[in-house]
Structure formats: structure tokens, C-alpha cells
């Protein structure tokens, strides 16, 4: 059986560069997949081709989603948006979800999933940015919801130490989503769709790709995701 091909959405910089931190690619490769960078196309035919060819899809971290996408105006000076990325990723999510193939959202990715399913975001929260502490160092504890997909992947249903680099978070849940982890202050840290609604759709607010080498739970998230993708290859 061939290795699964997994698309990862890229970030856009102010100097018109398209980029991605290598940790995403490294984690996918270590788990047995082949990663490729995705950006820009919004033509329905191109989106359909991507949806048909990819065995899995990761919505990666990056700038904030434009609040207009969930019916609000910008309410905080730290909100930084990339409208072009929103257009692409929301269209890609709509096309790819129909395939029933695995989807993983990380940081911005969990927020993208929530907005795509009709949810909203808290535009700014305090206390969830560990900078300048390295992402390989967990600084926050989350409580995993028992009997969820996340609990199975992490092989635990109690607390988990994670890193944290976000200033926004899920507010009102998108359609069908259930909460699979919360921080101690109640902030939603992970969501998923039940298996009857999608075979594998999970979003986490932290960055497991930066913890992959040292944290068994982060390893479990990527290994389980790539394993699900391999079943499509």
C-alpha cells in the first residue's frame, strides 16, 4: 500500500511569500505520510481535483479568520486577517468534507473548521500565548473529554499538558461539533465530529506537531490521523 498523501494549508506573509513551518511536514512524515503544501486555488474544478487526489487534509495554524465570516466586525486590535486564505480554505473545506476523508485542524485550523460549520470565535482571550517559550515545552493543562476520538488517540481521558500559541478560540460551536477538550479556564481546546457525521474530523487548539517527538499523546494524534488517511490511499 502506498503512503498517504496529505495536504497542509500554508500561511501567507506580507511580502507575498507562501510558507509553512517544517514541524507539520516532519510530523506527517514521521507518522508515515507524505506532506504537500496547499495554497490559493479557488476554482471549483481545481478544488474538486484536490479533494479527489488527497488522502488527508490538515488545516494549519496562522493568522486570524476574518470576523465577517461569522457575522461580526473586528473588535480587537490584535486581530490580523488574511482574506485570501479564508476564501481558499473555506472553499476547500466545503469540497473536501464531502469526500469523507480525514481532516485535522491545528490552532487556526480548529477555528476554521468551527466557522465553516457555522460557529463563531472569541476574537481575543488572554493567557493563552506562551511566547517566547518554545513550542516544544508544554505550559498548559487541558482536560480531555472521555469517550471521544481525541481521548482514544491520546490514550487518555484525563488531563494533558500542551503548548499554547493562540489569542482566539471557539465560541459558539459549529453544527454537529462536540467539545473533546477544555482548558482550566473553560476555553475550548479541541472539537470533533462524531463518527456518524464524519469518519475522522478533529480540531485541536494547541500545536501537537511541535510536541510530536516528546509527547506520546501528540504522537497518537498524528499516528491515528495518518493511519486513517492510509485507509484511503
215 is catalytic: no
Catalytic residue among 107, 154, 215, 229: 107
Smallest Cα–Cα separation from 221: which of 202, 196, 198, 199? Answer: 202
Q: Which residue has the cell 473586528?
A: 74
229 is catalytic: no
Catalytic residue among 166, 167, 207, 219: 207
What is 149-194 written as a DSSP string? HHHHHHT-SSEEEE--B-S-EE-SPPTT-EEEEEETTS-EEEEE--
209 is catalytic: yes
- 8-state DSSP, 106: E
Catalytic residue among 209, 215, 219, 229: 209
Q: Are 55 and 4 in contact (CB under 8 A)?
A: yes
Strand pairing category for 140-144 and 159-162? antiparallel
Strand pairing category for 56-59 and 5-9? parallel
Give the residue numbers marked as catalytic: 107, 207, 209
Amino acid at each position: 500500500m502506498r503512503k498517504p498523501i496529505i495536504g497542509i494549508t500554508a500561511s501567507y506573509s506580507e511580502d507575498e511569500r507562501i510558507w509553512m513551518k517544517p514541524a507539520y511536514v516532519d510530523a506527517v512524515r514521521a507518522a508515515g505520510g507524505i506532506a504537500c503544501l496547499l495554497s490559493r486555488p479557488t476554482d471549483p474544478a481545481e478544488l474538486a481535483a484536490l479533494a479527489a487526489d488527497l488522502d488527508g487534509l490538515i488545516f494549519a495554524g496562522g493568522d486570524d479568520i476574518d470576523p465577517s465570516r461569522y457575522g461580526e466586525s473586528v473588535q480587537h486590535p490584535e486581530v490580523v486577517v488574511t482574506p485570501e486564505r479564508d476564501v481558499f480554505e473555506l472553499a476547500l473545506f466545503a469540497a473536501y468534507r464531502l469526500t469523507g476523508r480525514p481532516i485535522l485542524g491545528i490552532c487556526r485550523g480548529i477555528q476554521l473548521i468551527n466557522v465553516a460549520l457555522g460557529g463563531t470565535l472569541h476574537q481575543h482571550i488572554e493567557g493563552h500565548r506562551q511566547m517566547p517559550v518554545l513550542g516544544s515545552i508544554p505550559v498548559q493543562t487541558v482536560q480531555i473529554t472521555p469517550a471521544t476520538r481525541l481521548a482514544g488517540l491520546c490514550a487518555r481521558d484525563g488531563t494533558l499538558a500542551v503548548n499554547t500559541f493562540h489569542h482566539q478560540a471557539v465560541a459558539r460551536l459549529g453544527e454537529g461539533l462536540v467539545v473533546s477538550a477544555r482548558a482550566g479556564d473553560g476555553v475550548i481546546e479541541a472539537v470533533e465530529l462524531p463518527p456518524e457525521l464524519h469518519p475522522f474530523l478533529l480540531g485541536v487548539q494547541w500545536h501537537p506537531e511541535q510536541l510530536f517527538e516528546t509527547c506520546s499523546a501528540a504522537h497518537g494524534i498524528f499516528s491515528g490521523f495518518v493511519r486513517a488517511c492510509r485507509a484511503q490511499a
